[in-house]
Each structure stands twice: as structure tokens, then as C-alpha cells.
A and B are shown apart, each in its own frame.
Chain A
Amino acid sequence: MMKTNRAKKGTAGRVIKTLYQFYPVMLPLTIGCIIFSAIVGAIPAVFMQNIIAVVEQSWQSGDWSSVSGTILRYVAILVGFYVLSLISSLTYNQLMAVITQGSLKKLRIKMFGGMQRLPIRYFDTHNHGDIMSHYTNDIDTLRQMISQSFPQLLISGVTVVTIFAIMVYYSIWLMLIIVIGVALMTFITKKIGGGSAKYFFRQQNALGKVEGYIEEMMNGQKVVKVFCHERESEADFDRLNDQLFEEAFVANKYANILGPVLNNLGNVLYALVALLGGCLLIYNIPNLSISGMALSISIVVPFLNMTKQFVGSIGQVSHQINAIVMGLAGADRIFELMDQEPEQDEGYVTLVNVHEKEDGSLVECKERTGIWAWKHPHKADGTVTYTKLTGDVRLHNVDFEYVPGKPVLRDVSLYAKPGQKVAFVGATGAGKTTITNLLNRFYDIADGKIRYDGININKIKKEDLRRALGIVLQDTNLFTGSVMDNIRYGKLDASDEECIAAAKLAGAHDFISRLPEGYNTMLLENGSNLSQGQRQLISIARAAVADPPVMIMDEATSSIDTRTEAIVQRGMDALMHGRSVFVIAHRLSTVKNSNVIIVLDHGRIIERGDHESLLAQKGQYYQLYTGAFELE
């Protein structure tokens, strides 16, 4: 849904500044061309006046040969100006097309790149549809504004100023009437145009509501059918749809009326200028002008044309009002996204490939060796130590809160030695998923320490830390592409064979082979052509091919039937041999064979131990296991 608020002050300036940064040479060049083209386009009025003056003087004589030289000279100058105007117009129109699309591309890339670096917190706290609309609605409104409104404003502005100057040059009396008329038109534009912009916002909001409703209903369409709820949802839809109609009607009404109103006020103005001109001529009222020329028909006629141009320019501006207001609001939102604070990373410990020498010492090397180590430079004495990557994870007295004042984890301490399987059990909100969010530093802890192979994870570069952790989530996210591409996502340089081996390990190979195109089957819309269980299997294969030393499985097998899960479990167990695994599952059968089971309640560890010892304790876990207590 699109949020529509009017833009902050200074947004227009920032848009121009941004465009200038993108195209420091082309933009001024384009603006120059536009201004030049507009001035050159307005000047012919002067020559028109000259020609008509000549015609007026000699039309009764009928002697063409005596004036042809003068007239043709004026026409030649006129044509010269026209050619210049055409050239600059051709240039700026071409440049503008390049600048518009190029800037949008750069903005998109900048926005997308910035977004990749935002912390997970941003995505957890913002509606995804809303983030998305930055790339669709906002960019679209911005395109309209850059490619049409900006040049149009510039042209109209220059034209108005130029014509105004010419008018003053010829006759201040006639000019005054135009000024009064234009003031009136500006007032009306502001009234109607302002109203139009207001209702366009309201229309946008109503559209957002309809869109939201449609989305919800389309997602639940099968439930609607099962409950024969069609008529009720139709009635609800009608209500929202009618409301949208009302808002859209008013908004469009204003926009549609503005054109004819301005156009015909222009006509009235035209008539008034003609009338006044006539009166001045007939009663021989002395002209007031810079040029000092006496008023004549040769001044009134071009004046009429200038009136048209003048009014036309203002009309053009009024057409752009909605586009500008909405474009600025869009630009504001785009800047807001780009201004988001990126994820901070002060880590300096990196993950490198090493050779292991016979004496057990580690030597860094470029090629892939299969052995990894943490490279830990010590600032104090300038030395570098290497610690072998084993997957030993420890939490010491960790406290954490998402929202200040609402602690989620309190004083949590635990450890997983390489090869151990640690399971978390507890109700929704007990803090299970939070622990995994902290391990890969999606969020940073408030107090306490987390160590990976003995190194405080705050010192480890985030990307290296995450590379050393594999994660499989309950909500599988697959990407458009083939099944093979999706598995390869875990390790970009994996061969087909490696991917297939990972799929076999995850127990996904069987069903993938049965897909119409096997591993080349294209996945659509987050793999909506697969079942939830099948998606989970692929996401496990994806993690398997990455082959990380520590694995986090957050409800990873919840949609797989227990038989298949048993198969996957065997694969995972094989894969995880010698590695650490954190498991979150509500199916206790998944958890039972863990080395350590940790029972969480409201952010505290209340019990820990293996299955047997916990059962023997006859505490919370025992109650869960025997079904005396609910787990969600």
C-alpha cells in the first residue's frame, strides 16, 4: 500500500541536486538547451510584428517589389531563429530521455544497494508491500516529474519571462490586462489544482485500501469458497470500491475541468486584449512602452499571439501540478529509504583458507583448502593469530530486547561444542528464534557475550560470521530460477554434481527427479508450484551445499511429514557430523536425539539437559513431552 503524505520542504532541491550529481555535465547542458530553445521560440514574435507593420503600411499600395526585400529579410532571420530553436529542442529532448532513464536506473541501483545493507530490523518493522512501492509507484511518479514536469516548468517559466519582456517593450497598457488575467488564472489554478492534488492523494489512499482488500481476499479465496462466503466479500468489496469511485471521480473532475477553464479564460483574455487594443487605437490613446512606438495594428496582432502563448504556458504548468506534487512525495519516500542507517560492522576478524602444517600451525593461503581459520589481527602489538574454524559457540549471560524496556532474553548462557546438537524448546515468544537472530548478528545483544571459536562475535566481520553459519528457516524463500540455481545459491561456484549431492543429502533428490524438468524446473513466485514440504527440502539442500560448520534449523522441518523428516534427519545428521547444530522445533521427536535440550520460558533458560535427564527431572520438559503443557 502506498503511503501518501505531502513532500517535505527541500525535496525538490534535493532531487535537482541528485540529478546534478548523476549528470554533472549533461544536466546543465540540457537546462541550457531548454532555456535557449524557449527564448528563441518566443523571439519570433518581434519579427512577426516587423513584418506585419510593413504589410500594414503597404497593403493599399499593392507594390510588392518595393517591400519584398524587407519582408524576406525578416523571414530569413525568423527562419534562422527557428533552426536554432529546432536544434536546441532536438538536443534537449534526446538528452532528457537519457537523463531521465539513466537517473532512474541510478536511483534504483542506489536504493537497492542501500537496501541490501540495511539491518534485518528494518525489514522486520516495515511492511514489505510498502518497501516495494518505493520501486514501483514512487519511481513511476518520479519519472513523470523528471521527464515532463521539470522541463515543462522551465520552458513555461522562460517563455513567460521572455514574452513579458517583449510585451513591456511594445505596450504596457495591453500588458497590464494580461497581467490581471494571468493573476486570475493563477488563482483559479491554485484553487482547482490544489483541490485536485488533495483528492488525488485521497484517491491514492482509497486505491491502497481496495488493493489491500483484494490482496487479502485473493490469498484467502479458497477459504471463501469453502465457507460460501462469496456474497459477503462481494458486499465488502462493493463498499470499498464505491468509496474509491467517489474519490477518483472528484479528483479527476477537478483535473478535467482545469483544462477547459484555463483554456477559455485564455480566450476571454484574448478577446479583451483585442477589445482594448481596438479602443486604444480608435480613441488614439497614447501608448506607453519601452520602445516608445505608437500603438498600431502591427502591435495588436502579435500581441494576440503572445497572449495565446502566455496563457498556453500557464496552462502547461497547471497540467503538471498533480505530477509535481505526487512526484515530490515519491521522491521524499525514495530519499527516506536511501537515508536509512545501514547495518554497522566494526568487525575485523576475517575467515580465510589455511594450510595446516605438520606442527599444527596454520598458514594462510589463497586457494580453497577446505580448512578455514579466523584471522585475528591484534592492534596492540601488530601480530596476527589464526584460530581454526571448528564451530564452538558459547553464549555468556546474554540479555536482549527488541524494544527498549521489553526484555526478550535474560541472562542466557549456553554452549555448543563442535558436533553437538543443541535444541531449543519453549512457547511462542520464549526467545528461541531470537537466539538465532543474535548468533548471526541480525540483531546485536544488549549485554553479555557471544563467542565463536573463542572469539567475541562482535569482532568478527559480519559477512564472515554469517558464512560460518548455515541457517534454514521455517518460511522458505526460494528465488525465481531453476531448482539447480536455487540450490547453488548456497555456494555460487558449486558444480551440478555438488548440488545434486546436497539434494540427495537433504532427501530432496527423489522428488526433484520426478519434477517435469528435474533440476531444470523453473520455480515461480517463491516456488508456489511446489508444496511447502518440498520447498523446505530445497532450502535444506541449499544450506547443505554451503556446508557451514554451524547450522541453525529454525522449524526447518515443520512442514515435512515425519517419514520424510526421518530421511532428511539422517542426511542432516550425516552432514552435521563434527559440526554444531542449533535446532528449534515444536515436534519433540525432532529434538529428542539432541545432545542438549534447552527449555526456554519468557527469555530465561529454565531447564537444560538431554532427553533422558530432562524426563527424569519431571519438570517443564516432562510436562511438554507428556502433553500436559501446550507448545506453540
Chain B
Amino acid sequence: MIKQLAKSVREYKSASLVTPFFVALEVVMECAIPFMIANLVNSIKAGCDINLLLRDGLLLVLMAVLSLVFGTIAGFTSSKASCGFAKNLRKDMFYAIQKYSFENIDHFLTSSLVTRMTTDVTNVQNAYMMLIRIAIRAPLMLIFAFTMAFIMGGKMAWIFLFVIPVLGIGLGLVIYNAMPLFRKVFKKYDKLNASIQENIKGMRVVKSFVREDYEQTKFDAAAQDVCADFTRAERILAFNNPLMQFCIYTVMSFVLSFGSYLVITTNGLALDVGQMSSLITYSMMMLMSLMMLSMVFVIMVMAVESGKRIVEILTEESTLHNPENPIHEVPNGSITFENVNFRYSENAELMALSNINLEIKSGETIGIIGGTGSSKSSLIQLISRLYDVTEGSVKVGGIDVRQYDVESLRNQVAVVLQKNVLFSGTIKENLRWGNKEATDQEMIDACKMACADEFISLFPEKYDTYIEQGGSNVSGGQKQRLCIARALLKKPKILILDDSTSAVDTKTDAKIRKALQSYIPETTKIIIAQRTSSVQDADKIIVMEGGTINAVGTHEELLKTNEIYREIYTSQNKAGDNDEN
């Protein structure tokens, strides 16, 4: 995991390496200061001349200033390194996701992708900063202070050999007991928040079923549960402070009593008053650094989970690969399915598609009809290689889709997805997804074909109208027509509309189909629809049922021969008096 994450440090390597160096310098200075102070104290005591005093004093100030400079540099480089690392991590994750296939995307929930790229990255960023600053500072400080204490205090320093293990073991115990609790409770906490989110989204349902009290009871229990676990964990953690105080107090008492004894009995030879005061300072330093170490450890352990979740994104292998020598030209819009079987994942028991054989000529209009879950969408997603077949092969222009360069293939096979999305930005910006270089005229033409121009021109800002996120400020039918126009701008050889006119009225629907027929006759058009009226003038209609092709034929043929088709048709035309279309 560490190796994978470390790859994202890149240009911030120097900042990351420089930081510990300056931190070390700062620590050296900080540890030398009490040493100097002991000298100063003794000079004062000895009542020596003012020049010596001034020299020592100024040296001390100089050291403090140096320490300040080093510390500031380290603070600067460490923020650069950690923020840069976080930036690169987000970037790498985003890029990795851009390479995902549909199958990979299905793998992760959207909300979890967002959390991984925000909260988890922040956790790792904090841990990284800790690592290059505190994790260097604390042990160094511990060692230096310890050494200095021995140099100055001699025998007195043995007290640290007692106190440090006590604190170390104490802190270790606290962490050992609190960490598993924290890990457990954070998972519960996530769940609690997920349930709040659900509640907010479903407020209309909650209110219309009068379930406010039920929701409240459910929430109270969950909140109580989270609180109990958190309290338990935090109460263990709350031993840290008193433990630390205990150690400091022990050292102080010892130094003051035994130290006094030593000073007096040796006439200040083994220890003098100045050293006594420095010893106390060193003991503070040591214990603080141990405390810091324990904190670093906690943050690290928490970041490990986040790190794992990030690495999952980075190492997820795209299930689609470009072939070695990809073909960039799609010769024509013909499509062939040969003995195709398909399932969404290796673990899926049922095939989403089984035994599909199909021949579609370039320029034909094909209608696909069938019930919910009959795998209509699965069928067409194989054509632009959004998924790979499990067995058999799909050919476009006579060539297996797996031999094409994916981008070239998708540029020639435009799919208007059933669950379609517009992005925040102007209409023009959205349309340019289809073709970056599209001129205004091209956009208007495409919108006219998709019957979108008529409502766009009614907007006060026309093609510069701003679309809100998810297209929430246009109606369902308008959204669908914009999506069709966007796909048309690609000028594809194959155009697939996956239930893309369901919110458009029948007349406009017919108008769009007629426009497609007359303006892009050479393009193969595949139309998935719920309404028979949307497919009835297609060259061929495919009736799907339970992942297989139930029948293929024209409207008239199917009406005569196919039970399902007839049923669908009559369910939509019960009164039998609306055959105007």
C-alpha cells in the first residue's frame, strides 16, 4: 500500500525530503538551548562579569532565532509536501477512474468514490504531514534530550529509564485498547450518516407515511449506539493526559529531592543548580515527544484504512484494454452479433444475454422492444464496447469490436444512455461534448434534428442558457432531446437511442425519427422504446424477452406472429382509436 501511495509524491519529493532535514536542525537547536541556559544560570550564580553573561545570552538568542528559521522552513516545506501529495493523490484517483470501464464503474458506489477522493485523501494528507514532521521530530527530540540529560545530569538521568518505559507502556496500552474501538465506531458512524442522508432524500415518503416518530426512534437508537462506543473509546484515550502529568510530576519530585541531595552532598560538583533546572526542561521535552509519538501513531493507524480505500481505486484494473495494433477506421455501420452470451460479472449466476445472433445492415433502422429487465440495454451496450461479451463476438463494420481503438469505435457509435446526464454549464458547452469543434450552425442543425431548437430558441439566453447540475432546470423531455442532439454532433455511423424519447410526446417523437431518417439516412439507427409507436416504422423490430431474442420482424409481421409484441401493442392502444400516428 505504502509503495502505491508513494508513487503520488512525485514533484513534491524534494519538499518531502528537505522537511525532515530542517526539522532535525530545529530539534538540535532546541535541545542545545537548555544546555546554554544551564551555563547562563551558573554564570549568573558565579557572579562573573557582564561580558560573559552578554555573550552567552546573545548566543542563546541567536540559537533561538536559528531554531525559528529552521522551524519556519520546515513548516513551509511540510505544508507544500503534504498538500502537494494530496493534490497528486486526488489527481491520480480521478485519472484512474477516467480509465475505468463500465464494469469497473458498477463496482463502486458513487458516494463512496466521492468520500474516497475527499475525506480519505484528507486523512492521508494529515498523516503524511505528521510523518515528515512530527514522526521525525519526536524520536529525534527524545534521543537528543535523553543524551543531553545524561551529559548534564549524570546519574540523575537514570530516572528517565524508569519514567519513559512507564509512559511508553501506558500510552501503548491506551492505543491498543482504543484503536479497535475507534475503527469499529467509525464504521457505525458512516452508517449513521448514510441513514440521515436517506432520510433527507426520502422526506416526502417519511411525511406522507407519517413515519416521523418511527424514523426518530430508529435514529435515536443508532445515535445512542454510536455515542456509547465513542464514549468508551474516548474514555480510554482520556487516560493519556493524566498519565503524562503523572510522569512529569514524578520526574519533578525526583529531581527536586534527589537533585537537591546531590547538589548539597557533592558541593555542586556532580550537579549544580543550573543543571538541575535544565534537567527539568529536558524531562519535559522527552515526555512531550513521547506524547507526540503516540498521537502520530493514532493518526497513522486511522489513515491506514483511508490509504487502503485509496489504493483500491488506484489499483483497480480496467477490464477493457485497447488491442495491440488497434484499428482506427470504422468502415461502415453494419453490426453483427455471433453467438453472444453475456453476464455482468463472473459471479453472476444468470446470463444477462444468451445466444444472441443478429445481423444489422449499415443504414438500417432497428427497433428494440421488451419488458423491464429483458436486457435491451445490455444488448446495445456491447456494440460500443461499454462491456465485453462473455462468449461469442460483436462485430461493427465486419470487424470484432475488440480490435478497434476504443475511442475511435465510440466516436462512431453514439449511444444516448437511458440514464442520461447533462452537466452544469451552458447548452453550448453541453453540446460540445459531442464535438469540441462544433460550429454554432452545426449545433443548431443537430438541435433542429432532435427537435430541441424549438424550445431552446424560446429561452431568453438561447444556446447560452445555463444548465444546472443534472439538468434540473429543464424538463425531462427537453433533457432527452438535448442528449440526442449532443450525440448527433458526433456524426456517428451508428446511433443508439436507449429509451431516449420516453418523456417526449408522440408527435415530437415521430418528428425526431423522421428527421433522423431524412438527414442521416446512411447512419444505422437503433431505437429502444417502450411505445410500439416509436418503433413501428423501423426496418426491423427486435422483441427481447428474458435476455434472449424472442422475435425479429417488421411491425406488421410481429403483430401477426408474435404474442408479446401484440400484447404490448394492445396495452398501449386499448381503445383502438388513436392510430393517427
Contacts and interface: CB of A to CB of B under 8 A. Distances in A.
Most buried by B among A100, A217, A261, A281: A217
Contacts of A62: 264-267
B47 A281 contact: yes
A305 B53 contact: no
Contact of B195 (A214, A241, A480): A480
Interface stretch (A104-112, A377-385, A411-419): A104-112
B2 interface: no
B110 A218 contact: yes
B234 A563 contact: no
A249 B83 contact: yes
B531 interface: yes
27 contacts: A41-B245, A62-B267, A86-B249, A96-B238, A101-B234, A109-B223, A216-B470, A219-B110, A231-B98, A232-B436, A241-B90, A252-B79, A252-B83, A260-B26, A271-B64, A272-B57, A282-B53, A428-B476, A440-B207, A480-B194, A533-B372, A561-B370, A561-B372, A563-B568, A564-B372, A627-B507, A632-B478
Contacts of B390: none
Nearest to B74: A260
Contact of B212 (A117, A123, A227, A528): A117
B469 A216 contact: yes
Interface string B550-581: 00000000000000100110011111011011
A460 interface: no
A112 B564 CA distance: 49
Interface string A468-503: 011101000111100000000110100000000000
B139 interface: no
Contact of B65 (A147, A215, A264): A264
Given A252-B82, A270-B37, A632-B478, A210 B100 contact: no
B200 A132 contact: yes
Interface string B232-250: 0011011101100110010
B220 interface: yes
B78 A256 contact: yes
B68 interface: yes
Interface in A577-631: 586, 589, 592-593, 611, 615, 624-631
B33 A270 contact: yes
Given A86-B246, A282-B47, A524-B109, A248 B208 contact: no
Nearest to A134: B196
Given A85-B249, A252-B82, A272-B61, A71 B260 contact: yes
Contacts of B299: none
B459 interface: no
Q: Kindly name the residue among A228, A526, A533, A624 whose own CB sees the greatest number of chain B CB atoms within 10 A.
A: A228
B572 to A, nearest CB: 5
B210 A275 contact: no
A51 interface: yes
Interface stretch (A87-95, A161-169, A355-363): A87-95
Contact of A248 (B75, B86, B105): B86
A222 interface: yes
B224 interface: yes
Nearest to B414: A226
Contacts of A79: 249, 253
Interface in B373-409: 373, 384, 386, 406-407
A279 B133 CA distance: 38
Query: Which among A233, A281, A632 has the highest number of chain B CB atoms within 10 Å?
Result: A632
Contacts, number: 458
A562 B571 contact: yes
Nearest to B95: A234
Nearest to B196: A135
B187 interface: no
Interface stretch (A52-60, A368-376, A389-397): A52-60
Contact of A267 (B30, B95, B111, B227): B30
Contact of A271 (B60, B224, B245): B60
Contact of B216 (A61, A116, A211, A305): A116
A627 to B, nearest CB: 3
B183 interface: no
B114 A218 contact: yes
A63 B47 contact: no
B79 A253 contact: yes
A285 to B, nearest CB: 13
If over half of A's interface residues share one DSSP class (helix, strand or loop), that class is named, otherwise mixed; here it is helix
Given A55-B260, A59-B268, A230-B99, 4 more contacts: A113-B219, A245-B87, A267-B67, A282-B53
Interface in A44-73: 44, 48, 51-52, 54-56, 58-64, 67-68, 71-72
B118 A48 contact: no
Contacts of A100: 234
Interface in B342-379: 370-373
B466 interface: no
Interface in A404-452: 428, 440, 442
Given A117-B212, A263-B71, A477-B202, A97 B238 contact: yes
Contacts of A115: 199-200
A568 to B, nearest CB: 11
A40 to B, nearest CB: 10
A308 B117 CA distance: 42
Given A132-B196, A245-B84, A249-B83, A116 B215 contact: yes
Given A256-B79, A274-B37, A526-B201, A82 B253 contact: yes
Q: How large is the interface on A (under 10, 10 to 19, 20 to 34, 35 or more residues)?
A: 35 or more
B230 interface: yes
B257 A75 contact: yes
B433 interface: yes
B166 interface: no
Interface stretch (A18-26, A172-180, A296-304, A324-332): A296-304
Q: Mostly helix, strand, loop or mixed at chain B's interface?
A: helix
Interface in A281-333: 281-282, 297, 300-301, 304-305, 308
Contacts of A232: 433, 436
Band of interface residues on B = 35 or more
A478 B276 CA distance: 70
B417 interface: yes
B129 interface: yes
Given A112-B196, A563-B371, A592 B575 contact: yes
A528 B118 CA distance: 22
Contacts of B508: 630
Interface stretch (B145-153, B300-308, B420-428, B441-449): B420-428
Nearest to A237: B94
A544 interface: no
A398 interface: no
A467 interface: yes
B207 to A, nearest CB: 6
Interface in B252-304: 252-253, 256-257, 260-261, 263-268, 272-274, 276-277, 280-281, 284
Interface in B89-138: 90-91, 94-95, 97-102, 105, 109-111, 113-114, 117-118, 129, 133
Given A71-B260, A256-B79, A260-B71, A228 B86 contact: no
Given A51-B260, A627-B506, A473 B205 contact: yes
B510 interface: yes
A234 B99 CA distance: 11
Contacts of A279: 50, 53
Contacts of A546: 209
A261 B423 contact: no
A511 B242 CA distance: 61
A281 B267 contact: no
A466 B211 CA distance: 10
A278 B53 contact: yes
B170 interface: no
Q: Which one of A59, A72, A212, A477 has the greatest number of beta carbons of chain B within 10 Å?
A: A59
Contacts of B208: 440, 466, 469-471
A258 B564 CA distance: 75
Contacts of B202: 477-479, 526
